[in-house]
Amino acid sequence: MTTQESLNRLKEGNARFVADKLDGKLQNSSRRDSIVGGQAPYAIILGCADSRVVPELAFDTGLGELFVVRVAGNVANSSSIASIEYAVAHLGSKLIVVLGHQSCGAVTAAVAGGDNGYNLNHLLSHITPAIAASKEGAAVNDVTKKNAELTVGELISRSEIIRNAVEKGDVKVFHAYYNLDSGKVDFL
């Protein structure tokens, strides 16, 4: 599958999700049997941990189709980058989508600032550049879009594996925004 075919498949799956017409045919025992020997997910999604944003559902996919990395605020940290590197280097995925979403709690907390304890402070520090790059008083959803955009750059600049794959034209990286109300994913 080419990068464009992978992207089209995601968009078609999302259109089915929005229209309440989920296919779901790759979620059964025969699909399980067919992928026991290995996986070849056609896309990698870096998404938020938010329970309302489920990439496998939002793109109407089944087992073995998406390599999904989820962390609050869909940030590029060492662990999320390493996970993505594995899929790029070993699974042949052609597409990476950084998926931000409406009303993200992590972005809201980063914008609010303050001390949230060691672990959350560390995570939110990855969102700080998006706040700095946004207009003063920017809406959380706009900061979220900026965060997804900057995260694309982070994946490329901080990972030699991802950067090489992008430069060779083997992989493309997109950022996108999930609307909680409609379920629609906007590719930005």
Min CB(47)–Zn ion separation in Å: 8
What DSSP line would sit under 108-148, residue for residue? HHHHH-S---HHHHHHHHTTHHHHHTSPTT--HHHHHHHHH
Q: Which stretch binds Zn ion (CB under 5 A): 47-55, 78-86, 117-125, 127-135?
A: 47-55
Q: What are the structure tokens assigned to 103, written together?
A: 């009303």
48 lies in the binding site for Zn ion (CB under 5 A): yes
User: Closest separation between CB of residue 157 and Zn ion, Å?
Assistant: 23
Q: At its nearest, how many Å lie between Zn ion and the CB of residue 126?
A: 13
Helix (H) or strand (E) holding 57: helix 55-58
Among 6, 7, 14, 50, binds Zn ion (CB under 5 A): 50
Q: Which is nearer to Zn ion, 13 or 47 (CB)?
A: 47
Provide, rounded to whole angstroms, the least separation between the CB of residue 105 and Zn ion.
Answer: 5
Of 99 and 165, the one with the shorter C-beta distance to Zn ion is 99
| Binding mask of the shown chain, residues 88 to 127, with x at each position contacting Zn ion by CB under 5 A | ----------------x-x---------------------
Q: What does DSSP assign to residue 11?
A: H
Nearest approach in angstroms of CB 12 to Zn ion is: 25
Residue 27 or 56: which CB sits closer to Zn ion? 56
Min CB(84)–Zn ion separation in Å: 18
Q: How many residues bind Zn ion (CB under 5 A)?
A: 4
Binding to Zn ion by residue 154, rule CB under 5 A?
no
Residue 102 tokens, joined: 């409406």
CA angle 106, 148, 52 (to 5 degrees): 50
Q: Which two tokens stand for residue 62?
A: 């089944």
- CB closer to Zn ion, 104 vs 130: 104
| DSSP-assigned letters across all residues of 69-101 | EE-GGG---HHHHHHHHHHHHHS---EEEEEEE
What's the angle, vertex CA 101, arms to CA 98 and CA 107, rounded to 5? 95
42 backbone dihedrals φ, ψ, rounded to 5°? -85, -10
Q: Which residues bind Zn ion (CB under 5 A)?
A: 48, 50, 104, 106
